Amino acid sequence: MEENMELTVGSVVEGKVKSITNFGAFVALGGSKTGMVHISEVANAYVSDIRQHLTEGQDVKVMVIGNENGKINLSIKRLEPRPQRENNPRRNDRPSRPAQDRSARPAPVPPAAPKTADQLFEEKLKAFMSESDSKISSIRQYSEHRTKSRRR
């Protein structure tokens, strides 16, 4: 580890994992400089336990992705090749249709916009009110039935 290394954004440096927390790993970069690799910057796949990927004392190659106010943000995954997305196997197994069939297909419908918190609340409230009305109605019918049977 060099004493006067360049820690500009985009530079690649080597360091040693100093400590590991649930949210990331602190990496000694030389001198008195320490940076942090957030758990989301450890690997291209989802990482639930950082300790499955890193150990204290491990030498790592990292990329500087931020250096502001004395906080050095690092990434390991940005030095790894990006995984290729697999094509949907079912889609590739389908026989292709003739070109005239594709042009006759209706245009795809764009996905609905995500619902706002107010819209979700309104839907939940309507469902609750409907369920509540149904329960109250059945309770009334039951109590009317019991009242009629007592009068006899």
Nearest to 8 by CA among 85, 103, 89, 73: 73
CATH superfamily, domain 12-79, is Nucleic acid-binding proteins (2.40.50.140)
Q: Where are the alpha helices (DSSP H) in the chain?
A: 89-93, 99-104, 117-151
Domain borders along the chain are 12-79, 115-152
DSSP state at residue 94: S
Shortest CA distance to 35 belongs to which of 5, 8, 62, 73? 73
Q: Which amino acid is at 151?
A: R
78-129 pLDDT, tens per residue?
998 877 766 555 555 555 555 555 556 666 777 777 778 778 888 888 888 8
pLDDT in tens, 41-68: 999 889 899 999 999 999 999 999 998 8
28 and 63 Cβ atoms separated by less than 8 Å: no
Instruction: For residues 65 and 7, give the distance between their C-alpha atoms in angstroms, rounded to a whole number.
Output: 9
